[in-house]
Amino acid sequence: MPESVYKIIELVGSSSVSWEKAAENAIVKASKTLRDLRVAEVVEMDMHINDGKIECYRTKLKVSFKYEGD
């Protein structure tokens, strides 16, 4: 890992089930276009409420992956 560089991006995943599933959805989707995902840090969690019921969970993540640019 010496002299490695990692890029950090923010993602927001959503789910009607849970915050954990929202985070998983974000990682699964990101892994389809980003390689070598390393660490995901939960930054924030919130939810949408409609008529007193939870409609959607959202999880904001900071995700790092190995930078391979010039």
Phi, psi of 67 (to 5 degrees): -85, 125
- Does residue 1 sit within a domain? no
State the sign of the Cα–Cα–Cα–Cα dihedral 36, 38, 43, 45: positive
Give me the CATH number covering residue 61.
3.30.1660.10
- Does residue 44 sit within a domain? yes
Model pLDDT for residues 25-36, shown as the tens digit of each residue: 999 999 999 988
**Most distant CA pair in the chain, distance:** 53
Total domains in the chain come to 1
- Does residue 26 sit within a domain? yes
Contact yes or no for 12/59 (Cβ under 8 A): yes
Model pLDDT for residues 4-60, shown as the tens digit of each residue: 888 999 999 999 999 999 999 999 999 999 988 999 999 999 999 999 999 999 999
Q: What is the pTM of this model?
A: 0.85
